[in-house]
Structure 1
Amino acid sequence: MSRNDAPSTPNDARHDALAGIRVLDLSRVLAGPWCTQNLADLGADVIKIEKPGEGDDTRHWGPPYFPDAQGRPTDQGCYFASCNRNKRSVTVNIASQEGQQIIRDLARESDILVENFKVGNLARYGLDYASLAADNPRLIYCSITGFGQTGPFAGRAGYDLLIQAMSGMMSITGRGDDEPGGGPVRVGVAITDLMSGMYATIAILAALEMRHRTGRGQYIDTSLLDVGMAMLANQASGFLNTGEVPPRLGNVHMSLSPYQDFPTADGRVLMGIANDGQFTRFCQAVGVDWMHDERFRSNAVRVENRPVLVALMSELLRTRTTAEWVELFQDKAVPCGPINDIGTAFENRQVHARGLRISQERYPDGAVPEGEIINEIVGVASPLRLSDAPARLRHAPPALGQHTDEVLRERLDLTPAALQALRARGVL
């Protein structure tokens, strides 16, 4: 059962975009789980394999931790819930031969496998692409690593923070060295992990489409470094074509002006003026004729004369509160907004209207195991809004091993006695 402020959708799985697609998820932490959550939201049956007794690392990352029924923090981190809804959790000890055989058996009838082990680790267990594709040539196998399968750094572990630093992302994030608080800064979320998960999702969907034509799966090599470099986008393009290393400008846009935050009577406000029409409407709204000033008549000269324009706008925008400026510009097609904290963002009327806050029950029958977190898990809705097959809430982020018996009975026809024996030997 689930509750969602977003428009209701049919509960029949046949309405799901990826209905019938089976995914074996051997990934953990963020990039891989973000990818497989996308697939799960679209209706794929995602089986998340976790280490018995421990599970995904993020189950224990905190604070913040989920509260128990009395509101006291448990040892279960909220991080895990951000990228593992709509999945079923199965515990398998991959280091054991019997566990490896279970993975091979599950992979044999899966469409997609996603993993983020270090290069070569799964090959030691016979769980690499070549081994599994020999039994299931239709398998789409996606590896997500820090540096990719080739090159001198292939064997290294890669982490989002490291990639943000190595790719140059941190060098263009934060305020300039000559400003208070200046210096390189990491993005506030693990952005290269998240984008690697998104790129992996796109590659998997492309491979599925190609399989419709060829009947065969393929191998996908996704790396955080590749993604981190690709995410430099226009900054990389500028450097590669001019040789000029982009500076760190804080909230200022190198190619647009005024496109940054400004002080107000009670805080700060963002102005995102990206063309001459918007600048003219801004000037008309505030009662100035700067659009006729030769220093500001076009974006090119506004960028050239940015210090002068910023000084004038800062003096002007200090005369009213942030809310007053937002109200003034909202019907004038002049991009303007507050700098919200996350709490304020979730109170935004548009966020409410889009149904972006969702709630799921981990145990629909209400039988919450003793010592477990409270039943309700709150999260953010999927932005994948297909008109005919929208993302649908089916499973709350699972408890560790919550679906082990269910999946292995269903997929591998294991009996209760066989499951008990495997558990006794430490396989499950």
Structure 2
Amino acid sequence: MSTHPLLAASAGSLSGVVVLDLSRVLAGPYAAQTLADLGATVIKVENPADPDVARGFPPYLRDSSGSSAEEFSAYYGQYNRGKLGLGLDLRADEGKQVLKDLVARADVLVENFRPGTMTRLGLGYEVLAEVNPRLVYLAISGYGQTGSRSRRPAFDNTAQAAGGLWSMNGYPDQPPVRVGVTIGDLSATLFGVIGTLAALRHAERTGQGQLVDVAQVDSIMAMTETAVVEYTVDGTVARPAGNAHAWVRPYELFDCKDGKVFFGGYTDKLWRASCELFGTPEAADAPETSTMRRRFDPEVYERRVKPLVLGWFAGRTRAELEELAGDVVPLTAVRDIGEVVDDPGTAERDMVVEADYGDLGTLRMFGQPIKLGATPALPARRANRLGEHADVVLTGVAGYDTDHVAGLRERGVVV
């Protein structure tokens, strides 16, 4: 590979790994972005006529000086940071050949099209595996690459609905409520990255790549905790339970003087410590509340345990409660996202990072939660403009000369 600074090996754990990111919006881009944070060279490949739709998602960075009308999607910036940009028309025969030439030198390809799309382009896994047998091909889709539902279109809400999670979320005797973030995409991202790293390990050891098939619906089902075994063992169908756990008690939100806190002092050890901290040590030994199994009983909980806990919290603020008990028992203030971003603890963990977008200003975004001692992640980088690094990628990775690149650009194959 070229020694161009943008292609120079990083100090990250995935230094030297080349990833082609053909994906759009969230699940695929976030998976590729995680690999980029961990040191891989990630090339964002977009259709010049139909680039990643996330480029139009709010909020937007804008030129504060008013000297231009340029704007840039912060959503796109958060999920595509650290990538190189290439605009490539895969409908053109020359564009297909460019991708194959890049695949020949790549380690990973990420796509999240509906199954069959890449095959119709003549660029399916089987074709690309002939070009590069070591290729790890991550395909994220709604229902997976196989099965009778595989060709169905899907979004995050599709996965929440079809995977069972939507039916479980909300309050009893009310319509179910979707999880408030795109958990179908995000869970597929995590399983996609895990699968890719496992496949990379195998490819490095044996020279054999493989298809990594991750479905959003499968990923959601795997996030339903005990719901599957509760059904298969006892025939119990999970239903919305609000902020309460299905059977662990106390383990929910409680009101306090200035908001709400989560309290989870349900084990015997934590319950005793809580009773002592809040000045009711007798409740730790009272016959009805002395054991975890007794406190789990719904009737005992509602009649004896919950009123006691509410009494502990009623006259205290969130900060006072955390100061009193937060280091001893699981007691945490429910914070809004502004409070989270501004919390000193967030800064201590480098979970808000900054990228410089010049006249558009600075984008503050979430950092990388994976903390590696010897090879730290590189999340504080900006995302690519469409086609921004075409020359670097095609000369440095594909090995083209500048005349070849110029010709591709003139014919509209590359931007």
The normalised TM-score by structure 1 is: 0.89
Unaligned runs of 5+ residues in structure 2 are: 1-7
Confirm or deny that 1:239 pairs with 2:231.
yes
Answer yes or no: is the 8 Å Cα contact 2:368–2:379 preserved in 1.
Answer: no
Residue number among 49, 59, 62 corresponding to 1:67 in the alignment: 62
Matches within 5 A, 1:18-417: 18-62=14-58, 64-70=59-65, 76-177=72-173, 182-288=174-280, 289-304=282-297, 305-308=300-303, 309-331=305-327, 333-362=328-357, 374-393=360-379, 395-417=381-403
Answer yes or no: is the 8 Å Cα contact 1:140–1:217 preserved in 2.
Answer: yes
**Counterpart residue type for residue 299 of structure 1:** M
- CA deviation digits over 1:213-266, x for unaligned, max 9? 322111111111111111112222222221101221122112311111111122
- CA deviation digits over 1:285-331, x for unaligned, max 9? 11112222222222221121221222332244212222221111134
Q: Percent identity?
A: 36
**Counterpart residue type for residue 297 of structure 1:** S
Deviation of residue 57 (structure 1)? 1.1
**Counterpart residue type for residue 121 of structure 2:** Y
Q: Distance in 2 between matches of 1:316 and 1:256?
A: 19
Moved more, 157-166 or 410-419: 410-419
**Counterpart residue type for residue 393 of structure 2:** V
Moved more, 411-420 or 353-362: 411-420
Answer yes or no: is the 8 Å Cα contact 1:361–1:375 preserved in 2.
Answer: yes
Q: Distance in 1 between matches of 2:130 and 2:350?
A: 44
The normalised TM-score by structure 2 is: 0.92
User: RMSD of the TM alignment (CA)?
Assistant: 2.0
Answer yes or no: is the 8 Å Cα contact 2:36–2:42 preserved in 1.
Answer: yes
Q: Distance in 1 between matches of 2:172 and 2:342?
A: 32
SS of 1:270's partner is strand
Deviation of residue 53 (structure 1)? 4.9
Deviation of residue 361 (structure 1)? 2.2
Q: Distance in 2 between matches of 1:352 and 1:14?
A: 24
SS of 2:80's partner is coil
Q: Distance in 2 between matches of 1:245 and 1:302?
A: 23
Query: Number of matched residues?
Result: 402
Answer yes or no: is the 8 Å Cα contact 1:92–1:427 preserved in 2.
Answer: yes
Q: Distance in 2 between matches of 1:249 and 1:417?
A: 64
- CA deviation digits over 1:358-397, x for unaligned, max 9? 11224xxx5x5xxxxx142221111111111111247411
Q: Distance in 2 between matches of 1:274 and 1:348?
A: 27
Q: Distance in 1 between matches of 2:167 and 2:74?
A: 30
Q: Distance in 2 between matches of 1:73 and 1:170?
A: 41
**Counterpart residue type for residue 19 of structure 1:** S
Q: Distance in 1 between matches of 2:263 and 2:21?
A: 42
Q: Distance in 1 between matches of 2:253 and 2:379?
A: 37
Residue in 1 aligned with 2:13? 17
